[in-house]
Structure 1
Amino acid sequence: MGNFSLNASQIADYNRDGYIVVKSLFSTQEVEKLYHTALENSVMQKNAMDLNDQTGKKTKLSLWFTPGDDVFGYLIRSERMVNSVGQLLQEDSPVCHFHTKLMQKEPKVGGAWEWHQDYGYWYKNQFIFPDQLMSVMIALTTANKENGCLQVIKGSHKMGRVNHGFAGEQVGADMEMVNHALKTMELVYCEIEPGDALFFHSNLMHRSEANLSDHPRWSLISCYNSQTNLAYAETSTSWRVPVSIVPDHALLEWNAGSFENADFLKKENDPALKTTGWENEVKTS
């Protein structure tokens, strides 16, 4: 994977559609290392949060800010990830890492995520420019319709920010606008295999259904920001620190490193989960 680069067609697709899928960005061996570390990492599990959907099913996630010298940090900081993000953000500014989430949707119990835009959350952190924010989902297990893969509304990033409010314990988009979007634009199920990467804009409307299958759906979602994109109400600091890039081969060569000091988010400290200002913004029924 040395010197990996997106091509002009992929960049054009991202700008038009709000997302692209890059197949096999990470190898089978790399994904196995990531997945087994995630399964066995007691620190990661201890810091996992449960978020309820509207039916009471739970999605478990662990979220941290600063990428370290561990297998997850080497994925976040890998040359192929950071350079690809830089190509898509198209800014003459260093790429910074906002946060990464380990999403854990277990068989039969993994909850849904309501329709939302990531910038619907990050607006509360007062990031100024949504075009300078994006996410990269790396599948650790197969994601398909049966186990609740990501669904996106193609081109919906061009709508701008839609009002958001609470839907269960999650923040969801105004369903009137979502329904208009679904009548206007194409709904796409992003079925991806382990190692595939889904790059998507912070204003792309997306959701996922509950995992009612017999198989887990685990993924890592790393969120990146241009250094020039200021966040006036964000208390973490990684979003303004240029990523210290490591070569692509570093991930497989990693064999030690503590995760004890990672700056995990606590549920009570998440500004997107505080009700002030959200109560009357959205119709979620």
Structure 2
Amino acid sequence: MPVATPPFHDVKVRYGREGWFPMPFTFGTAEITKMRESIEVISAQNRPEVVFEENSTAVRAVHGCHDYDAVCHRLVRLPALLDFAERLLGGPVYVYQFKVNMKQAREGSAWPWHQDWAFWHKEDGMASPEAVNIAIFLDDVTEENGPLQVIPGTHHLGLIDPEGDKREPTHDWRQHVSAALEYTVPDDFAASLAGTHGTQRFIGVAGTAVAFHPALVHSSSNNLSEHRRRMLLITYNRVSNAPANPARPEFLVSRDSTPLVRVEGDHL
């Protein structure tokens, strides 16, 4: 994983303005193969961290893999990833959330427009969106297989709640991992935002990595192709921003906010 890092000031300016940034490296075939093999093994296991599409045996996502899989455990500690997260967030970090969204061929359902921070703030008590998502493509991502789509700049808007939703959180984590999300940005409001800010689809070959802000409005469409679209997502949170009393399962919200220590070398 060779790293050719642009001046970090330029990275922070672009990330601050748009809420996303293409990582300055790609993962090689050997690393992607190891990640895929680990996820295949986990997906076949009967465990609560494995979530299925509604009324289907198709795996929708797997969660918390860095806690029980050696490859994922090492992945989150690679210097290239930790250096980026710590410099961007301005201090030590830990893994707040780890997941792989699977998008099986012809079965992977959409994720509606939403902000990740809506769940983390309302359900877990995260005070500030001082975290960063890093998405790693485990497969080629195309227009047809359900790419992640963001509305640049919307992280500046804070929590978006156009309907004035004052509901108490349900703490039903199943509504946070299904196509019927509990906290969404209505389609008409998202369309208005897109008309102002435009949209950006994350498309690229396997091994591509992209960073994006947890308050950025984003979604993804159904997988209409014959090809899977697996995307691994690591959320690094600043240690000082760790919520005090999260209620959701630990595989969705890590309780261990000990600063991560780098492994040697950017390889798996």
TM value normalised by structure 1? 0.77
Would you say 1:193 and 2:192 are equivalent positions? no
- 1:218 & 1:69 partners in 2: Cα distance? 17
d(CA) in 1 for partners of 2:265, 2:97:
20
Match of 2:50 in 1: 48
Q: Given that residues 2 and 248 in structure 1 are in contact (C-alpha distance below 8 angstroms), is that contact kept between their aligned partners in structure 2?
A: no
Is the partner of 1:105 in helix, strand or coil? coil
For the residues of structure 2 that align with 1:40 and 1:69, how far apart are their CA atoms? 10
User: What letter is aligned with 1:108?
Assistant: R
Q: Does 1:119 align with 2:120?
A: no
Correspondent of 1:222 among 205, 225, 234:
234
User: Which AA in structure 2 matches 1:162?
Assistant: I
**1:233 corresponds to which letter in structure 2?**
N
Which digits, 9 at most, give the CA deviation of each residue in 1:72-111, with x for residues without a partner?
111111111111111222x2x3111112101111110110
Alpha-carbon offset, residue 40 of structure 1: 3.1
Tell me the CA shift for residue 25 of structure 1. 2.8
Unaligned runs of 5+ in 2: 168-174
Equivalent pairs, count: 246
- Deviation of 1:59 after TM superposition, in Å, equals 6.3
SS of 2:219's equivalent in the other structure is strand
Matched, 1:81 2:92: no
> Taking structure 1 as reference, are residues 104 and 77 closer, same or farther at Cα in structure 2, changes over 3 Å only?
same
- In structure 1, what is the equivalent of residue 172 of structure 2? none
Amino acid at match of 2:77: R
Whole-Å Cα distance in 2 between the matches of residues 104 and 34 of structure 1? 13
Report the CA distance shift for 1:34/1:65 in structure 2 as closer, same or farther (over 3 A).
Answer: closer
Contact 1:5/1:83 (8 A) holds in 2: no
1:83 partner amino acid = D
Confirm or deny: 8 A CA contact 1:59 1:111 kept in the other structure. no
CA distance change for structure 1 residues 202 and 179 in 2, over 3 Å: closer, same or farther? Answer: same
Corresponding residue number in structure 1 for 2:171: none
- What is aligned with 1:70? 70
Runs of 4+ in 1 over 6 A off after TM superposition: 56-59, 164-167
Task: Structure 1 unaligned segments of length 5 or more: list them.
Answer: 252-285
Structure 2 letter corresponding to 1:207:
S
Report whether the alignment pairs 1:248 with 2:248: no
CA-based RMSD of the aligned residues comes to 2.7
**3-state DSSP class of the match of 1:137?**
strand
**More strand by percentage:** 1
Could you tell me how far apart the structure 2 residues matched to 1:229 and 1:14 are? 19
What SS does structure 2 have at the residue aligned with 1:170? coil
1:95 equivalent in alignment to 2:93: yes
Q: What CA distance in whole angstroms lies between the structure 1 residues aligned with 2:45 and 2:7?
A: 35
Q: Report what 1:213 is aligned to.
A: 225
Partner of 1:170 in structure 2? 181
In 1, Cα distance between the equivalents of 2:126 and 2:220? 25
Offset of residue 219 of structure 1: 1.4
Report the secondary structure of 1:217's partner residue: coil
Question: Structure 2-normalised TM-score?
Answer: 0.82
